[in-house]
Structure 1
Amino acid sequence: MATTDWGAALEPLIAQYKNKKHPLDYHNVYQLMVMVVLSAQDSDAHINKLAPALFEKFPNLKTLAKAEKDELEPFVGKVRGFDKKADWLIGIARELKDDKNIPSTMKDLTALKGVGRKSANVIMREAEVPAEGIMVDLHVLRVVDRLGISHAKTGDKMEKDMMAVIPRELWGETGMAISFLGRETCRPTNPKHEQCVMKTHCEYCRIHG
């Protein structure tokens, strides 16, 4: 069977979701960074509910840098992994000191405690800086496996596999486009094959569709 040109195959999907804002309801890069850290192993919807009160109390890194963990607890104490995440956020705030110091490169973002490659890719995409990788969340892990681009079991390995077969100029939009497809169409159960722009290139659809 001919090898799929994934750059060409993904173009309709990328066009469908290009520049669509991330589901986290942020209003600046500071809010985005905080919410991305909080949302790991939790849901975007849960973080969106908690965020307004948190940011009213701590509107920027300067105010967050002065906080102690017990001051964060009333706002984000119910977030999964609160203990670690509160330490990470206060640590980031004390290290960066000011919103204008929030980095925009993979190397500098992933040097911050609590920011992995997935989070860094999200921040860079939303900040509209050149992509240095492809965002892989749980939706991407599922959809990319179904498409047949990669059957890797970890985000880092899947990201490497994708970077090897997808043109660099598409990296910034690819992860979020696939994630949106996973949220809306390629659901864990009962995926909507007939509505999917990727159905003609999808291994899973050929078998189960």
Structure 2
Amino acid sequence: MSKTDWVTATKELLKKYKGKAHPLEYKNLYQLVVMVVLSAQDSDKHINSIAPIFFKEYPDMKSLATADEGSLFKLISKVRNFGNKTKWLMELAKTVKIDKNIPLSMEGLTALPGIGRKSANVIMRGAGVKAEGVIVDLHVVRVAPRLGIASGTDPKKIEKQIMEVIPEKDWGEIGMAISFLGRETCRPTHPHHHECVMSKHCAYFKENHS
């Protein structure tokens, strides 16, 4: 990895996407938690499409805590890995019981079934609390090594590398900003270099346009 000054290099990127809403269309913290669990290895678009029916049936954590497998299966059977996700949601709701008990720390969230570091980071950003890490989704795993800000394919290692070069005050936004860059500009094939705010700092761009 080169000695890029990532604080300066990411200024424009952070400015472009700061505070931009996550693609999951949730209305409150309870909905965000459920949708984050459902969206693992599935698309945000798909989860957005089933969410209204799900939340009509289970509008809050208290109602979800009474759900049985059969009722949940009907609502989420088209979601990838729905068997495990059904169990996780039932267990999570029985643990949390009511919306106001939803934890807002990395430790509290990752102790719940179906919630890893990435999911916890997404929930904490959505709740507007102080970040304890960096969101590393599939887009970040692909884009961060391209940029040169991280290397490898392990999300935890990529998160750690980003945390080492980006100040703590920006942890809550940098992951989502890189994710949006990956969704909109830095596509898997034919990335739009000409409209990328990171091109002058990007290792991949330099390699392919030197």
Same-fold call, TM cutoff 0.5: yes
1:187-206 equivalent positions in 2, closer than 5 A: 187-206=187-206
In structure 2, the residue matched to 1:26 is 26
State the one-letter code of the partner of 1:91.
Answer: E
- Match of 2:10, SS state, is helix
CA distance in 2, matches of 1:45, 1:193: 26
- Match of 2:130, SS state, is coil
1:112-127 equivalent positions in 2, closer than 5 A: 112-127=112-127
State the one-letter code of the partner of 2:139.
Answer: H
Residue by residue over 1:64-86, the C-alpha shift from the partner in whole angstroms, topping out at 9 and shown as x without a partner, is 00000110111111100001001
Residue by residue over 1:62-121, the C-alpha shift from the partner in whole angstroms, topping out at 9 and shown as x without a partner, is 000000011011111110000100100110100010000001000000000100000000
CA distance in 1, matches of 2:5, 2:37: 34
Give the TM-score normalised by structure 1: 0.98
In structure 2, the residue matched to 1:89 is 89
* Range that drifts further, 2-11 or 60-69: 2-11
CA distance in 1, matches of 2:22, 2:38: 15
CA distance in 2, matches of 1:79, 1:144: 28
In structure 2, the residue matched to 1:7 is 7
Cα distance, 1:2 vs structure 2: 6.6
- Match of 1:19, SS state, is coil
1:98-177 equivalent positions in 2, closer than 5 A: 98-177=98-177
The 8 Å contact of residues 144 and 151 in structure 2, kept in 1 or not, is answered as yes
CA distance in 2, matches of 1:171, 1:164: 10
Question: Is 2:61 aligned against 1:56?
Answer: no
CA distance in 2, matches of 1:12, 1:149: 15
The 8 Å contact of residues 148 and 202 in structure 1, kept in 2 or not, is answered as yes
State the one-letter code of the partner of 1:134.
Answer: V
The 8 Å contact of residues 2 and 148 in structure 2, kept in 1 or not, is answered as no
Cα distance, 1:151 vs structure 2: 1.1
CA distance in 2, matches of 1:95, 1:140: 31
| Cα RMSD, aligned residues only | 1.0
Give the TM-score normalised by structure 2: 0.98
Name segments (4+ residues, structure 1) moved above 6 Å: none
CA distance in 2, matches of 1:42, 1:108: 24
Structure 1 gap ranges (5+): none
Structure 2 gap ranges (5+): none
The 8 Å contact of residues 124 and 131 in structure 2, kept in 1 or not, is answered as yes
Cα distance, 1:8 vs structure 2: 1.5
Percent of aligned positions that are identical: 57
The 8 Å contact of residues 7 and 170 in structure 1, kept in 2 or not, is answered as no
In structure 2, the residue matched to 1:181 is 181
State the one-letter code of the partner of 2:40.
Answer: A
State the one-letter code of the partner of 2:122.
Answer: V
